[in-house]
Amino acid sequence: MAVINFSKANCMNCYKCVRECPVKAIKVKDEQAQIVEELCIACGNCLRICPQNAKEIQSELVTVKTYINKEYKVVASVAPAFIGAFKFDHAGQFVSALKRLGFSHVEQTAVGAALVSKEYSEFYNNPCEDNYITTSCPGVNYLIQKYYPSLIASMIPVISPMVCHGKTIKERYGEEAKVVFLGPCLAKKLEAIEDNSIDAVLTFDELNKWFQKERIVLNELPIESFDAEDLAASIYPIAGGISATLDKKIDKKIFKVDGIDNCVQVLGSLEKNEVKSTWIEMNLCNNSCINGPAMPEEAENLYLRKYKIEKYVHNCEKNNKSWQQKEVSINNAYLKKEFINLSSSFAIPNEEEIRGLLKDIGKIREKDELNCGACGYNTCREKAIAVYNGMAEKNMCLPYMRQRAEMLTNVIFDVTPNAIFILNDDLDIINFNPSAETLFNVARDFALKKPVTILMEDDDFIDVRDTKRSILSKKVKLKHYNLTVLETAVYIEEHKAILVIMIDITNNEKKEKKLEELKLNTLDMAQEVIDKQMRVAQEIASLLGETTAETKVILTKLKKIVQSKEDDI
């Protein structure tokens, strides 16, 4: 079950998450970063450094509120790092805040840490030459299980303080009780899925936002006591804190290792058998749990967190105060845990396949392999192997994509039939393409760094520079060149420059002029024909009128003659 991932809408292809992931558990598909669950160690590095804040963390806040609303017995297991994570005058105010949210009981996870330390002490005092690696940090456990499985035998087979505390809560309050772990760790969300003693996990960041929503101000609340705590084990979240709680009966070499890079170095040495009979307290986060990835945004700085925890523990020791309310125990059998191999294998392409993948991104020769790391991988070959396994895309090579873009831009600039030139804020020419050379009959070398007035009037460009308003397809007559052009001038704010594009429409203008003349001539000819037709019609009408009159006269005379003859008869 994935508990962390990226928001699809926000990924900007910066590959920073891939660069920062220590185990390269991030897959890029369709230009979207995705966390590959089977490879992830839940360190939270990628989400913490994402510049777009494109993180999605599976929250169980609704589940916890449901437990509370249904009146379950909801017990909070609070990681001791809370002392440095929140601002309050007294730790009891934090207890009061949780009770206001609806938690029926509030205990410190340090109760489980104390029990784990007792079990750890048995292994520490073993005089054998075996190396032992603490298993309180689930991120370290996943790192070993997934990437250093040969070292699983060195992992102390003991459950974490969180799980241990959850088991004691279930024993003391009943299996129906709901255990909610509160801490600064994302890996705990994954660990809780594996064990039914923890019903939900909320990070300190989630809890702080819940406080804010409910308008709970910690230092304004009354002081209440934890239902169970172990003050000495509250030192656990500081680097070396686990070792400080051990009952040491023999002298053994101790490595206090925190931070992923340091963990990887030590695990590498262990794989090579360079270290023997060593107790290794290992935490994935730099400076251990007080620097967990899910601390509240408003938390104190790292060193103040450490100071507050150390002061808290010191004051408790000074007052000889080790337990409150009741002492907790657990069946030792419940403390055992078996760690298994979770490693995944990648297909390794042969040399020919690697060369083919490199060639696809312009890496023809060895010197073309810049190994710049912009894609997130240390070398071009590592990137090629990632592409082969579907973990990366070819176009993630930024130098290659930039080279392609520049080449395409240059080709367009050089071969376009339109004249293009660029002016700086002083209206001097800073770029000049071949078509502009042809249009203005001026060599590029001569035009560069010269004022645009060597070509034409600069009134339009002054207006564009001063108003920042573009000119689009304005018809301009270049009388000196006997040309007509469509002028576009765009102000580029970020470069303080003006891009000028001129389309030569002189021939089109001439054709349009000829066409206009042809139209006018045609109209004149048509009018002349019409006039002639009218004259002919009038002449015909006149002739017809005369002949009709004559005919009428003749017929009238003929009629009279005929009538006179009839009268005589």
Residues 47 and 64 in one domain: no
d(CA 216, CA 567): 140
pLDDT at residue 395 in the model: 84
| Domain's final residue, options 504, 523, 552 | 504
548 domain residue, yes or no = no
Residues 283 and 371 in one domain: no
Residues 495 and 437 in one domain: yes
519 domain residue, yes or no = yes
Q: Residue 476 sits in a domain of what CATH number? A: 3.30.450.20
Residues 46 and 182 in one domain: no
d(CA 419, CA 441): 11
| Residue 230 near residue 239, CB atoms below 8 Å | no
Residues 25 and 72 in one domain: no
Token readout for 198 is 């923890």
pLDDT tens digits, the chain, 569 residues: what are they?
567 888 776 777 788 899 999 999 999 988 888 999 999 999 988 888 888 777 778 899 999 999 999 999 999 999 999 999 999 999 999 999 999 999 999 999 999 999 999 999 999 999 998 999 999 999 999 999 999 999 999 999 999 999 999 999 999 999 999 999 999 999 999 999 988 899 999 999 999 999 999 999 999 999 999 999 888 888 999 999 999 999 999 999 999 999 999 999 999 999 999 999 999 999 999 999 999 999 998 888 999 999 999 888 877 655 555 434 456 777 777 899 999 999 998 888 999 999 999 988 888 888 888 888 888 899 999 999 999 999 999 888 888 877 777 676 777 788 889 999 999 999 999 999 999 999 999 999 999 999 999 999 999 999 999 999 999 989 999 988 999 999 999 999 888 999 999 999 988 877 877 766 777 777 777 677 777 878 877 777 777 767 766 766 776 776 777 676 555 55
Q: Residue 127: phi, psi to the nearest 5?
A: -75, 0
- Most distant CA pair in the chain, distance: 178
d(CA 71, CA 103): 10
317 domain residue, yes or no = yes
| Residue 228, strand partner residues | 107
Residues 356 and 425 in one domain: no
pLDDT at residue 537 in the model: 73
| Residue 73 near residue 170, CB atoms below 8 Å | no
430 domain residue, yes or no = yes
Q: What is the domain count for the chain?
A: 5
Residues 137 and 262 in one domain: yes
In our burial notation (b when 16+ CB lie closer than 10 A, e otherwise), range 160-174 reads: bbbbbbbbbbbbbbe
d(CA 314, CA 466): 68
pLDDT at residue 323 in the model: 39
Instruction: Count Cα atoms within 13 angstroms, Cβ side, for 567.
Output: 6
Got the DSSP string for 68-133? HHTT--EEEEE-TTHHHHS--SSHHHHHHHHHHHT-SEEEETHHHHHHHHHHHHHHHT--SS--EE
Nearest Cα to Cα of residue 112 among 172, 182, 159, 75: 159
150 domain residue, yes or no = yes
Token readout for 281 is 């307290």
Got the DSSP string for 433-475? -HHHHHHHT--HHHHTTSBGGGTS--HHHHHHHHH---EEEEE
Residues 127 and 201 in one domain: yes
Nearest Cα to Cα of residue 194 among 159, 168, 219: 159
3-state secondary structure of 29: strand
Residues 383 and 495 in one domain: no
3-state secondary structure of 313: helix
Q: Residue 240: phi, psi to the nearest 5?
A: 90, 0
408 domain residue, yes or no = no
| Residue 285 near residue 279, CB atoms below 8 Å | no
458 domain residue, yes or no = yes
410 domain residue, yes or no = no
β-pair type (26-29, 32-35): antiparallel
Residues 269 and 363 in one domain: no
| Residue 314 near residue 133, CB atoms below 8 Å | no
| Domain's final residue, options 335, 362, 387 | 335
> Residue by residue, what is the 3-state secondary structure of 215-257?
CCCHHHCCCCCCCECECHHHHCCCCCHHHHCCCCCCCCEEEEE
| Domain's final residue, options 453, 478, 504 | 504
| Residue 74 near residue 178, CB atoms below 8 Å | yes
d(CA 432, CA 447): 7
Cβ–Cβ contacts within 10 Å for residue 354, how many? 18
| Residue 7 near residue 32, CB atoms below 8 Å | no
Cβ–Cβ contacts within 10 Å for residue 505, how many? 17
Q: Which domain holds residue 48?
A: 1-58
d(CA 144, CA 156): 12
| Residue 181, strand partner residues | 77, 201
pLDDT at residue 362 in the model: 82
Residues 114 and 223 in one domain: yes
pLDDT at residue 565 in the model: 55
Residues 459 and 535 in one domain: no
